[in-house]
Chain A
């Protein structure tokens, strides 16, 4: 534990360990597939093991620094670029999820990937470096580098090991994300000049400060930016992040990428890559551009609600299981955005927790769909029926994942969605009503899916030979199930760790909110319905 508190660059170690592993893998013989698999597992396993102590070493409470495990050295002094790492509670959770999902992704690929295995594991490791780097970076330039670096391995993962329309899906994924992120780059540059010499040709005076890409510096000066400039910078960020989230109507790349990607790719996409969009909003758009954020709350909430309901409705009519889960992501991420743009502590903390929840539940669902696909090579719902008799353990796992995804109390999804609803209702009861419709629809498409696949007669002869999940598959699912129950039953530690960053965000984005002393930081529900009654009257005071 000592190294976690002694200023040792632990975040860099976490980030570059997979990269080092990938480089070592280059020297493995192509045909030594077992050695390659186990080495890759070892690397991500060590990475995960090294990340766990972060949870314990992270200082909580009032006096604790917001960003911890800081590392800062000059990288490109001529431009004011620093190599700067550090995480707050939000990033900590995302980093932990990344290392866990990275491990699961590698381990779950053992039997699914049968050709070009060496390249596959190298790319998975590179991807992990990019993902962890994005969450740790506290310098815009560095952040942008990791953000783009991540695209390339994901492109190859979809393009080489994907389904039949993999080339189309891969390039669509790449171009959509790239188009968004280059526009984001322009926004970053505008911020950079505002801090520095200004943009004289547009009559925007700068602050004349030393050139820097330090994100925390921009947190401090964000409110000084004139509203019009904030608006345009926000639009740039919005395009970059909304495409990644993905928000309606920028979501069209997602079903293609999800459906065509190999299972591990889908899991990583759902659990981590989509979170980069929401993380981007939380880390950059909200604290740096508070005026623009408040100004654009309504359009963004409208898009989120459309996303929630549209995603759910489209899920309802899917014939392909994987596509169903993919569209359900659009709906769930709509919740995350809705909670975030409630701009109050409840909405924001629910939003952050729901990022994690969605990663866990949807990740598990993609794994489960992958398991059955490996056996039957079809994902059509109509091909199945009555699987509960043939694969009882599988059916149990699927049920838990589905219930968690639809937000059943005692499981993680409930805590997140409920907190988001509270936050949204605090702003406007109408938002909460629409969101609640989304929850109902969510229950509908997941239960209907479950009914069609697992109940009824086992009449398809192809399904009668199916074997239940094996030990390795159970091992990939168990950690996710444990987390579902943990967050569902005892979410307190999770709320505690994000309390401070959420408070900070609210102070930045809506300082007036706190002054009204209306804030009742919720004793968050642990599947205890009676507590809702205590909380709701507080909301109605508004």
Chain B
């Protein structure tokens, strides 16, 4: 370990200090309800983003070999996701303001938990060793459990936190068990060393079992069927801004490590695990999208839809091709922005606590808030993969990856379920535009409008002019792609 190693950690160090400042602010005499909290939080995020840029420039010399005894790397892949997480968390901060003010909970503590969760996410995407990945994942999970229960007085929220905690720990244990089996076979937990150790090895029971347990643990984190049962309850019970966080940034982080582990360590064993993941992917798409059809609670509907989206993104991992990896990155980005946009609209309709959640609350919204209704349509079209929104570009990559890697039937399942998804997304459109009704009162605020405007600009902008994003994704994933083809 040298000083240059530490340079790579500067973003996480900055963020951790920021998180501590946020945590200690009330002790230092700031009011619990101070509106300054969100500005401090945003400043911390800005500083972290700047640090990522700085560290990435400084870290170029270190290259892909990894720091801290090859446990930590700041490659293009990690930088891409780190910046995406920072952006997503910044949007979540903008979304949280009204909720915190109304419910009179401590602002500082909340933002500090978000910052710690972000630290975990950033750390784990840089992890190139299963232990460093696991540590980051646990930091994210522990912060998320608390955030899910942030409605301290609501039973639903407490129940969600409890459920999330219990199932989350079990899944972590499963993941760990998988790691221990892999360690037993390979004698290492460093991703590229695992690959080298496995080269020329025929899959044995212990290894297959280890991979299956590892995949099961990761599938829990990304909420794929059949490890999805916690998702609807937690998404519904958690405060909506926290749901926005869990369904976007947290999910993207889980996909980042999922992709990194499988692309870096296990590509040679593709034939052993791809059928299993393909089944999980297909089931997620089918179950998620079919279950969403019957939901009248918007949060629950979007929760099931996010299960479906996990199924789509899994195709990018199953493909094990450069195109598949690009697909994961592109999809996560477009998914994050469209999803945060929809959650922002749901939040806007919130009157108190859990209201604003039934489809009926959206009725006639186009009269009361034409801009927000329009933005919501764009987000829903993007989630459904209809051009010219960014969602289409994301789906395009995943479908293309599936076709190219020979998973034709999976691609067919994917396109048909994405047509089905339009059916329930359009229930909201129907409510907003085609029914004249009493929409729930619209509570909009400047930060919320700003967040929606950003999500809208990204969703439409990348839909029409995706070249920049695609070129970025191709260069960001270069280090991993380079190792993929021997």
Contacts and interface: CB of A to CB of B under 8 A. Distances in A.
B388 A175 contact: no
B399 A189 contact: yes
B434 A78 contact: no
A474 interface: no
A76 interface: yes
Contact of B403 (A78, A160, A178, A189): A189
B405 interface: yes
A201 B422 contact: no
Nearest to A183: B415
Nearest to A200: B406
Contact of A78 (B408, B419, B467): B467
B400 A78 contact: no
Contacts of A148: 386-387, 392
Contacts of A175: 419-420, 422-423
A369 interface: no
Nearest to A159: B434
A190 interface: yes
Contact of B415 (A145, A185, A193): A185
A201 B412 contact: no
A159 B467 contact: no
Interface in A177-210: 178-179, 182-183, 185-186, 189-190, 192-193, 197, 199-202
A170 B385 CA distance: 19
Contact of A152 (B381, B385, B407): B381
A171 B423 contact: yes
B466 A76 contact: yes
B418 interface: yes
Contacts of A167: 430, 434
Classify chain A's interface size.
35 or more
A145 B396 CA distance: 11
Given A78-B467, A186-B399, A186-B411, A178 B422 contact: yes
Interface string B390-425: 001000100110011111100110011011101100
B343 to A, nearest CB: 22
B142 interface: no
Contacts of B406: 199-202
B419 A178 contact: yes
A145 B332 CA distance: 21
B400 A174 contact: no
A193 B404 contact: yes
Contacts of B416: 179, 182-183
B467 A75 contact: yes
B433 interface: yes
Interface centre among B400, B407, B416 (most CB of A within 10 A): B400
B383 to A, nearest CB: 14
B470 interface: yes
Interface centre among A79, A192, A199 (most CB of B within 10 A): A79
Contact of B474 (A78, A144, A201): A78
A156 interface: yes
A186 B388 contact: no
A154 interface: no
A436 interface: no
A200 B470 CA distance: 23
A151 interface: yes
A137 to B, nearest CB: 12
Interface in A394-431: none
Nearest to A158: B434
A79 B470 contact: yes
A370 B416 CA distance: 36
Interface in B402-456: 403-408, 411-412, 415-416, 418-420, 422-423, 426, 430, 433-434
B202 interface: no
Contact of B405 (A183, A192, A201): A201
Contacts of A160: 433-434
A160 B426 CA distance: 13
A79 B407 CA distance: 20
Interface string A226-251: 00000000000000000000000000
B435 to A, nearest CB: 9
A271 to B, nearest CB: 24
Interface of B: 381, 385-388, 392, 396, 399-400, 403-408, 411-412, 415-416, 418-420, 422-423, 426, 430, 433-434, 466-467, 470-471, 474
24 contacts: A76-B467, A78-B467, A78-B470, A78-B474, A79-B470, A151-B386, A156-B433, A156-B434, A159-B430, A167-B434, A174-B426, A175-B420, A175-B422, A182-B415, A182-B419, A183-B412, A183-B415, A183-B416, A189-B399, A189-B400, A189-B404, A199-B403, A201-B404, A201-B406
Given A76-B466, A175-B422, 9 more contacts: A76-B470, A78-B471, A148-B386, A171-B423, A178-B422, A179-B416, A189-B411, A199-B406, A200-B406
